[in-house]
Amino acid sequence: FSNLNAQSEKYVAKIKAYQKKYVKEHEVVLKKDKEYFRFFPVDEKYKVVASFKKLEDTVGFIMKTSGTKNPRYFRYGTIEFKLNDTTLKLTLYQSQQLMTDSTYKDYLFLPFTDLTSGEESYGGGRYLDPRLTEIKDGLIIIDFNKVYNPYCAYSTGYNCPIPPRENYIPVAIKAGEMDYAKPTH
């Protein structure tokens, strides 16, 4: 039991360090406003092992955004996992633009909304960027403690992808970044 507790403490410390680095390096929220970042308590149950199924999408689709740009994405695959005895399925996407960028070509995109969206977390959904290299033997670890808000959560004028309907999760994912707390007056 004590070993399990030590593992959890180590995991919590690792996620808190990840969040601290995320806040420190954030490009949109500047110095004094960084105090308004909020995160759900770190909970290891939101680090899930998901089964992965590759999709053959050669056409892609235009993902709607909050702005005027309309980027093309491909449905790369689906993931399925259990959370609180509920089986959930999400689609992983790959950006046509990033596929040609040597730095980001192995990035996948996991935008989603859940029952916290518009309540405790940003209404426009949250994101995660798994890598192709994280898919091993038909499995991928998805850590919702690392989900983040799009730039639109902090400022106007960005083209933030809007999570497609197929990525609405009918449960509350109380993990990762919460709604930005800066007062708007």
Is residue 55's pLDDT more than 80? yes
Token code pair at residue 70: 């309309």
pLDDT attached to residue 175: 97
pTM of the model as a whole: 0.93
For residue 146, the one-letter residue type is: K
pLDDT: is 11 or 3 the higher one?
Answer: 11
The set of residues, in sequence order, having a beta carbon less than 8 Å from that of 46 and lying 6+ positions away, is: 83, 143, 144, 145, 173, 174, 175, 176
Mean pLDDT of 145-164: 94
Backbone angles phi, psi at 149, to 5 degrees: -85, 150
d(C-alpha 185, C-alpha 167), whole Å: 33
pLDDT attached to residue 185: 46
Averaged pLDDT of the chain = 93
Backbone Cα Rg of the chain? 17
